[in-house]
């Protein structure tokens, strides 16, 4: 069974390993140390295999004013397609609701159709593009949002 919990300092090494496994240009371990140990606006959730005690996925989100900005979600390849990414998003949604945030946003590589499929399934909608956002490949980032307020209150013309 997979258990979702708030990340702690003891999880950082495993988070950094999953980051290296999953991303072309991984964040350095020091970024996770800073976010998890010092950044009061960051929250990380880890997915732990309760049989092994091993971290098999994680996600990070920053609380920016009244929004949740998902910085990253990653699941170890062997544990994919088991609902772990969705569980992490569910955890972020609960945190957003508890903190009365208006919604969550994220950027995803244009070519990462699997991730975009998950985000759509969880209620995110495409709201824009950041051309050549990723330095390593010059790939566009697709901006996605999931709002918790009525759609008529969102002014997309701003």
Under a CB-based contact definition with an 8 Å cutoff, are residues 122 and 87 in contact? no
- 152 classed as catalytic: no
Which of the following is catalytic: 17, 107, 134, 139? 107
**Residue 77: which H helix or E strand, with range?**
none
CA angle in degrees (0–180, nearest 5) for 126-91-89 = 25
- 107 classed as catalytic: yes
41-66 as b/e: b if 16+ CB within 10 A: ebbbbbbbbeeeeebbbbbbbebeee
Which of the following is catalytic: 44, 58, 119, 147? 119
CA proximity to 84, closest of 19, 22, 2, 16: 2
Q: Which residues are catalytic?
A: 107, 119
């Amino acid at each position: 069974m997979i258990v979702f919990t708030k990340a702690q300092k003891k999880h950082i090494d495993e988070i950094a390993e999953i980051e290296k496994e999953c991303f072309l240009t991984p964040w350095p371990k020091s970024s996770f140390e800073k976010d998890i140990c010092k950044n009061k606006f960051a929250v990380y959730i880890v997915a732990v295999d309760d049989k092994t005690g091993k971290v098999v996925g994680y996600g990070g989100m920053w609380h920016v004013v009244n929004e949740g900005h998902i910085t990253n979600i990653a699941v170890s390849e062997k544990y994919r397609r088991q609902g772990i990414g969705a569980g992490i998003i569910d955890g972020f949604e609960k945190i957003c609701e508890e903190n009365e945030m208006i919604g969550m946003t994220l950027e995803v590589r244009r070519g990462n159709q699997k991730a975009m499929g998950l985000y759509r399934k969880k209620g995110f909608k495409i709201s824009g593009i950041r051309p050549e956002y990723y330095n390593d490949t010059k790939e566009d980032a697709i901006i996605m949002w999931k709002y918790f307020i009525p759609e008529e209150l969102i002014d997309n013309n701003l």
